[in-house]
Amino acid sequence: MRRRIWRAAVVAALLTGIAPVAAAEAAAPHRPRPLPLERLFDNRAVSDDARPGAADFDGAGASLSARALATAGWTPGRSLGVDGAELTLPRSSPGERDNVVADGQTVRVRGRGDALAFLVAGTGGEAGGTGTVRYRDGSRGSYRLTAPDWRTGPLATKAVALPHINTPGGQLAEQARLYVVTVPLARGREVASVVLPRDRGATDLHVFALSVRSPAKGWTGSWAASTSGYTAVGDLGDRTVRLVVHTSAGGPRVRVRLDNTFAAAPVRIGAATVAVQEAGAGAEGEPRRLTFRGGRTGAEIPAGAQAYSDPLDFDVPADSNLLVSFHLPGRVTTAPVHSQAIQRSYVSSPGDHAADGSPAAYSSTITTWPLLTGVDVSGGPGSVVLLGDSITDGVRSTQSANRRWPNVLATRLLNQSDVPRYGVLNHGISANRVVADRYPGDGVSTDTGGVSALHRLDRDVFAQTSARTVVVFEGVNDVRWGASADEVIAGLRKIADRARARDLRVVAATIAPCEGESLCTAAADTQREEVNTYIREGGDFDAVLDFDAVLRDPARPARILPAYDSGDHLHPGDAGLAALANSVDLRKLEP
C-alpha cells in the first residue's frame, strides 16, 4: 500500500513539479510525534553556585551559573525579546533539565513569520547541522543552524555573556556565552513542527528555546539607530533622558524600541513619553505616555534584550522631530549608545520629568542616543535599511539639522509618487567596517565603531521593522586600515547571500574616494577601486548606486570633489551628502 501511495506521488510530481514530500511523509507511520521543546530536554546546563556538580553542560562537569544568569535578568520562565523575536527561557530550576542536545528531535512549533529564532550554544567547539521545517500545508524546507561554542564563540554576536563558569572544582573566571541565532522561513506558510539537526560529530548543539519570529504586521520603521558601543555615560540615575529623533514616514500610531545591547545587567525604564518637538527640549502639546507589555508604565530590559512599547494612538508627522523621553529610576553609569547622533538631546535634573511639556527641567545636553534604537509608525509600505559607516551616519554634516544623506533620501521619497513612500532607517555607524569589529561586542569601551557589518546584520537589518530593501555602503574603513579587496568582497558577498535568503532586495553603493586623508594611501585606493569594480560588475546585487562617481573630482578621481568635501577629505559635507541622496534612482529601492 505504501509503495502505491509513493508511486502516485511521483506521478503527481512529474506533472506538477512539486516534490512528493507530503505523500511520502503521510505514508511513513514511524515519523515522531512533535513534542514541545521542554518535553525533550535531556541535558542540565545551569547549576547553583553552591551546588555546581548538579549540572553537566559540556560532558566534563562544567555548567552555567544560575546566579550569573539572574544578575543579567535571565531568570527561569522569563520572556525575552532579542532581535525581534520572543523567546521564553526554560522554567527549570538549577540542576534540572533545561535544554536539549540536538539529534533529530521533532519539536512542536506554531506560527507564521520570517525566521526561526533559537537560543543555543555549542559545547566542544562550534556545533551545527541541517534540520527541517515542516509547514501546515504539507511542504517542508531545510535550514542550517550553527551554534558558537559557549566558551570560545565570538562575543560580537552573543546574546548574553556571564562572568564565570561553574565546575565541580570551583568557579572558573572565564566568560560563558549564549547565542540567539535566526534562520529564514518560507514567508506566508504556517510552521507545524521543526526537526532539529542531527548530531554527527564530536561537538554538541544545545537548544534552550525556539520560536517563530513574527514580524509586526501593519508597521513601518520611521527612525532607527544602531548600537555602536557600550560606554560610560556619567550617572543617568534618577534622570530623565529626552532624545530628539527625526522621522521619515509618518502615521497615526507609534511604538518605540529600546535595546540593552552588549550589556551585562538589566536596565530599568520608568515612565516614558513621546511628543512632537516644539523647540529644544520643549514639547508641542502635552507629551503622551508610553506603556509596555499590555499597559505597564515601565519595563526592565535584561542584558542583551530589547523592549517595544505598546502601540499608542498618536499622530506622528513625517519628516519631523520627535521627543522620546524616559526616566531611569536606577543607577545608570554605563549604557549601550549610538555615539554619533549629530543631534543635541537633553538630560533632566533629578526626577521623573518624562511628562513635562516644558523644557525647564532639562538642564544638560548630550550628543549620543542611549538605549533608544527605533520608532515605528502604523501603516505605510515598509522600510529601506541603509547599512553603512560614518558617511551614512552623517559625520561632518551640520549638527541638529538632519542633513545626513538618509534624511535627504527620506524627504525625496515623501515628495514623490512613482514608488512607495518607504520609511528610511539609518544604520550607519562611524568607523564601522564590513569584516572586522571595532568594538569587541562586550564590556565597557571607548571605541564606538561597532561590531562588523557581518556581525550586526541580523540585528540591524533582518530584525528591522518591515524591512524590504537593504542598501550597503561600507568598505572604506576596511581598506584604510589594511584589509584587502578580496576580504571586503568576500564580506559583501556574504551580506548579499544572507539578505537574499531573507527575501530582501540588496543594493550596493560603491566606495567613495578619500585621497588626502592620512590613511587613504595609494595602496588603499588600489584596494578601493578593486572593490568598486566588483560592486559594479560582479552581479551579486540587485542594483548598484555609483556613489564613487557622484563624489569624485573628474580631474583627480581618487579624491572628493572640493565642493563636496567637508574639509577632512574623507567625509562629504552637506552638499556632498545631498548629492548622494539626489543621485539615487528611487526605482532601485523597490523590491
Residue 564, classed as helix, strand or coil, is helix
- Confidence band of 533 (pLDDT split at 50, 70, 90): very high
Contact 355, 234 (CB under 8 A): no
* Range of lowest pLDDT (201-210, 421-430, 432-441): 201-210
Closest to 507 measured CA to CA, from 540, 538, 541: 541
Return the closest-CA partner of residue 212 out of 232, 234, 190.
190
**pLDDT at site 523:** 98
Residue whose grid cell is 544602531: 226
Rg of the Cα atoms in the chain: 25
* Residue range 10-44, pLDDT digits in tens: 333 332 233 333 333 333 456 789 999 999 999 99
Cβ contact 205:102 at 8 Å: yes
CB 274 within 8 A of CB 237: no
pLDDT value for 31: 74
321-328 sheet: strands from edge to edge: 282-290, 272-279, 321-328, 239-246, 345-347, 364-366
| Orientation of helix 522-537 relative to helix 485-501, angle to 10° | 30
Residue 249 phi/psi, 5-degree rounding, is -75, 155
Is the confidence at residue 308, as pLDDT, over 90? yes
pLDDT, one tens digit per residue, over 73-127 is 999 999 999 999 999 999 999 999 999 999 999 999 999 999 999 999 999 999 9
Q: Where are the alpha helices (DSSP H) in 290-376?
A: none
* Residue-wise DSSP of 172-231: E-S-EEEEEEEEE--TTPPEEEEEPPPP-SSSEEEEEEEEEE-PPTTEEEEEE----EEE
Q: Which residues contact 50 (CB under 8 A, 6 or more apart)?
A: none
Give every CB contact of residue 332 below 8 A, 6+ residues apart in sequence: 233, 235, 236, 237, 267
**Alpha carbon of 193 to those of 109, 126, 212: distances in Å?**
5, 25, 11
pTM tops 0.85, yes or no: yes
C-alpha distance from residue 401 to each of 137, 323, 338, 366 (Å): 52, 15, 17, 16
**Residue 333: all three cell numbers together:** 553609569
Q: Give the rounded percent of residues in the chain with a pLDDT score beyond 70.
A: 95
> Measured in whole angstroms, how far is the alpha carbon of residue 271 from the centre of its chain?
25
User: What amino acid is encoded at 362 in this protein?
Assistant: Y
Dist. CA 437–CA 453, nearest whole Å = 8
For the chain, domains (ranges, CATH) are 1-31 (no CATH), 33-213 (no CATH), 219-378 (2.60.120), 381-591 (3.40.50.1110)
Amino acid at 536: R
pLDDT at residue 538 greater than cutoff 80? yes
Identity of the amino acid at 94: P
Supply the pLDDT for residue 30: 65
Instruction: With beta carbons less than 8 A apart as the criterion, state whether 240 and 364 touch.
Output: no
Q: What is the C-alpha separation between 421 and 414, in angstroms, rounded?
A: 6
pLDDT for 235 equals 94
**Pick from 221, 424, 192, 456: which is nearest to 338 by CA?**
456
- Adjacent-strand bridge partners of 151: none
Report the DSSP pairing between strands 251-259 and 306-308. antiparallel
Q: Which of 81, 503, 516 is nearest to 306 (CA)?
A: 81
Q: What is the mean pLDDT of residues 397-410?
A: 98
pLDDT single digits (tens) 471-482: 999 999 999 999
Q: Tens of pLDDT along 151-188?
A: 999 999 999 999 999 999 999 999 999 999 999 999 89
Average pLDDT over residues 440-444: 97
Residue 20 pLDDT: 34
Candidates 566, 221, 527; CA nearest to 405 is 566
CB-neighbour burial class of residue 587 (10 A; exposed 0-12, middle 13-18, buried 19+): exposed
Task: Decide which of 156 and 202 is more confident.
Answer: 156
